[in-house]
Chains A and B, each alone.
Chain A
Amino acid sequence: MENVLYKPFFNATREVFQLMLDISNITDKPLCVDGVCYPAGNVDIAIRVIGDMEGMVVYHFPKETSLKIVKIMSGGMEFNEVDEFVASAMGEIANIISGNVMSALSTQDITCDILPPEFIAPETIADASAKYKFVSGMQICSEIGDIDLNILLNVKSGAEKA
């Protein structure tokens, strides 16, 4: 199951970075979710997943990376703080990546839906990781910084075909 999810999330992120930010060089490395502890002041977004798999995917965008992303998207405007604009733009990016993953999974007969992005306190990730069976993480490295994706999911009984 872990591999079923890892690749689609990486591919979706790569595609979104390419399309929206014109960044084509990204690499990944596995991340250990257990005991992960992020400082406050960054952007941590949970996308809840319902359906054949249930749980959430948490995106961690460092402050500097978030500011660079909105600068690129806005055609060069300067952003100094993570305000409502910046957080909301990051939420939409997390939403787009996750939505693309859900469409990719649906071709493998895994049917899931996502809920609107929620902004969460970073400690929520460590607290939640114990509740889920499939826990995996990846760090996506690019010229504008590293983004962490923490995947925390349970597979609903009867749906465990992957």
Chain B
Amino acid sequence: MLWKDKYNLGVEQIDAQHRELFRRVSDFLEVLRSSSSWEERVGKVNETLSFMKDYVITHFRDEEAYQIQIGYPEYDAHKQTHDDMVSYVAQFAAEYEQKGYDEKLIQQFAGKLLAWLIHHVAADDQKIGAYAKKKGV
């Protein structure tokens, strides 16, 4: 189980999205780390990868909209962090496709993504919740 209750911000829409995002990451990791041969699972890996990738974009967009809505003062820095991640994901996806779905490359991508996501949600996103609470919105 990837999700932890301590990741909740107290903003229902964002919390629900985070839970969904972690669910998709979890599905992706499950297939990626299973022991069957790469040929057997690459199709499913790519499917769960794109399912997760799409949601990352959706979630970032909605979370940024929420920050604007509440007048979050660290919006610019937070958006920059999101944008950097989106361009890392895009760069990886292009290389992964170009190299014909190389397993080592996607394992490397997934390790970084997992650590990044946990830290982003457990640290950076929490500050949005704290600000919302302080402002009473």
Contact = CB atoms under 8 A, between A and B. Distances in A.
Interface of A: 16, 19-20, 22, 70, 73-77, 83-93, 96
A11 B119 CA distance: 16
Contact of A20 (B3, B29, B118): B118
A74 B114 contact: yes
A89 B119 contact: no
A83 B123 contact: no
Given A76-B1, A77-B33, A84-B104, A89 B114 contact: yes
Contacts of B94: none
A88 B26 contact: no
Contacts of B134: none
Contacts of B2: 74-75
B111 A89 contact: yes
Main secondary structure of the interface of A (DSSP, over half): helix
Interface residues on B, range: 20 to 34
Contacts of A70: 111, 114
Contact of B29 (A19, A77, A83, A93): A77
Contacts of A22: 4
Main secondary structure of the interface of B (DSSP, over half): helix
B102 to A, nearest CB: 10
Nearest to B26: A75
Interface in B29-58: 29, 32-33
A107 to B, nearest CB: 15
A88 to B, nearest CB: 3
Given A91-B112, A92-B112, A85 B119 contact: no
Contacts of B29: 74, 77
A73 B109 CA distance: 15
Contacts of A74: 2, 29, 33, 114
B16 interface: no
